[in-house]
Amino acid sequence: MSIANLSVSSYTSGVELKAALRKQNFELIIMDYHLGEGKTGVEWLQSLKEAGYIKPSTGVIFLTSDRSGQVIGRIMDLQPDILLIKPYTIASLSRQIKHYLHYRDFVKNVLQALDNKQLERAIGVIRSKIKEGIPPRLVSDIRKLYARLLYENGEIQRALSIYDDILSRSDKVLWAQWGKIKCQYSAGQWPECKEQLSSMVNSSLARDEAFEWLASLSFEQHSYEDVEKYLEQIKFSELSLPAAKLKSLAFQKQDKVVEAIDLLQKKRALHRSAKDRFNDFTFELAEFYLLLAEDSPQSNREESLSQARKLVGIAGRNQSDSQVLQKRDYLLAFSSVLDDDLEKAAHFLDADYMENHLRTEPATLVIAAKVHHSLGDERKAGELLLMAKQKNSDVQGISEQVMNDESIFSGGERLGLNHEQAIAINDTGTQLFIEGLFSQAMKHFYDAFQLSPETAAFGLNLLQCMIEADTAVYRRYGIHKLLDTLSELPLSETNRGRLEQLTLLVQENS
C-alpha cells in the first residue's frame, strides 16, 4: 500500500521495529495491539517512547480486532492519533491516514519544535494558529495536542480547563477523562483524583487502569493494604509488570517477603513461552533478591545473591541489545558490591556500553548509582540519581513512576545524597515562589520535604506556598496535617516563629 509520498517499511515484531529505530526515524507508526505471546503493541510503544527511540512528532495509528473494553481502554490511554477496529476496509484506513496527514501538515511547525525540545515555542505556534482559526475537522485534534503540551509544560490549570470544557459537553471522552486525572494528580489534588478514579472502575474501558492508579495513590500514602486490595481487582494474568512490582513491594513493606517472591515467580512462569516478558519478570525477580540482600546483614546474603545471579544469567543470556546488556552488568556489579568484592564489581563496568545512559531506565540508573558510590565515585552517583529523577518525569505509567520514585528515594537515602538534592530542589522552588509560580513551587517544596523530612524549613516553605495558593490539600498533606507534622519536628527559634505566624494565617483563613 502506498501512503502519500512516504516510503513504507514492515516489521514482524517489536524487536525488529526497535532494531530499525536505532538507524532511522519514522513519521508514522501503524501498530497492531496483539503481537503474539510477547509484549503488546501498547507496551512496545510505551517502552520505545520512554527510551527515546520514537520522536515526539511521530504519529501512531493502532489497529486491533479485539473489541474488549479493556484492550480499547489501554490503547486509548496511550493517546494514539488514530484507532481502527477490525474489520476495516482499505478505503477507511486510507481516509483516516489522509486526515492524519492533513493534521500533520497543519501542525508541522509545532512537531518540529517538539523534536527540537522547544516546548514553549510549540505552544506559542499552537496559540497563533488558534487565533488565526482552526479548520473545523481539526479542532478536536488540536485541542488534544494543546492540552497535552500545556500539561507537559507544567501549565496544569490551563490543561485542566480544556479537559473540563470537553467533558462538560460529553463526559464519555476517555482521553479527556485521563487527561483530567493526570492534571489533578500533578496538581496535588489527590482527593479529587481519587474520587474521579473511583467513578471509572465501573467502566470496561478504564477499569484495570483505574484500579492501578488507585493502588499507586495508596502506595504513595503508605496504605499498603489498600494497594493489595485494589490490585486484587485486576485479573492476575492481566497484571502489568509495573503493577506486579508495585504489589510485590507492598507485600515487602508489610514483611510479606514470601508472598512477594511468589507473586513475581508466578508471573514469570506465566510468560515462559514469551521471551521478552519472561526476561522482564526474570530481571525483576533478580532485582528483588538483590534488594533483600541489601537489607540483610553481610553474613546473611549468600542465598539471595546466589538466586539473583542465577536469574540475571538466565535473562541476560544470548542478548545483543546494549540496553539489556548494560542492565545485566549493572545488576551483576551490584551483586559483587553486596558481596564486598569491589574489584569484580569494577570489572563489570569495563564494557563501552556501560557509559551510555541515554536509554537507561530509571530503576537501572539507581542500581548504577549504588555501584559507583560503592566504588568511591560519589559525584557520578549523584549525577545518576538526578538523571533517574529527570527520566522518571517522562515515564507514562503511574505505577512505574511511583515505583521509580520509591527506588530513587530509598537509593538516595541509603547513599546519603537526599539532603543535598533537597537543598537544590528547594532553591529552585524558592525562585519559582518569588516569581509567583505557586503551583510549580509547591511541587518543588513538597519534593524537597519528602527527600529531607527532618528539615523543617522545607516543610514551612510548602506550608507557606499552600497558604498563598489557597490550596487546602496537596498530595499527602492537608494543611492541618502538615501543621501537626511540623510541630513535631525540632525547630530553630526562627522556624518556630515562622510556624506560629503561618498557624495564625491558617486560622484566619479558615
Q: Is the pLDDT of residue 382 over 90?
A: yes
Helix (H) or strand (E) holding 62: strand 59-64
Q: Is the pLDDT of residue 171 over 70?
A: yes
Q: Note every long-range contact of 372-379, with CB atoms under 8 Å and residues 24 or more positions apart, other chains counting.
A: 373/415, 373/417, 374/337, 374/342, 374/345, 375/337, 375/342, 375/345, 375/346, 375/349, 378/415, 378/417
pLDDT of residue 334: 98
How far is C-alpha 323 from the chain's CA centre? 18
Domain ranges of the chain: 14-106, 420-509
Q: What is the mean pLDDT of the chain?
A: 94
* Cβ-contact 371, 290 below 8 angstroms: no
Looking at residue 65, what DSSP letter applies?
S
Reported confidence tier of residue 501, pLDDT bands at 50, 70, 90:
very high
Query: Rounded mean pLDDT of 464-472?
Result: 95
Considering only CA atoms, which of 412, 385, 403 is closest in space to residue 252? 403
Q: Which class does domain 14-106 fall in?
A: alpha beta
Q: Other C-beta atoms within 10 Å of 245: how many?
A: 27
Q: Which class does domain 420-509 fall in?
A: mainly alpha
Looking at residue 188, what DSSP letter applies?
T
Residues 6+ apart with CB under 8 A from 504: none
Query: Rounded mean pLDDT of 286-307?
Result: 96
Place of cell 543470556: 317
Reported confidence tier of residue 4, pLDDT bands at 50, 70, 90:
low
Whether the domain at 14-106 and the domain at 420-509 fall into the same CATH topology: no
Per residue in 396-424, pLDDT (tens digit) is 889 999 999 999 999 999 999 999 999 99
Helix (H) or strand (E) holding 453: none
Considering only CA atoms, which of 186, 96, 109, 92 is closest in space to residue 145? 109
Provide, rounded to the nearest whole percent, the portion of the chain with pLDDT above 70: 99
Largest CA distance in the chain: 75
Q: Is the pLDDT of residue 6 over 90?
A: no
pLDDT of residue 381: 96
pLDDT of residue 431: 98
pLDDT of residue 111: 96
pLDDT of residue 112: 96
Q: Is the pLDDT of residue 1 over 70?
A: no
| Single pTM value for the model | 0.93
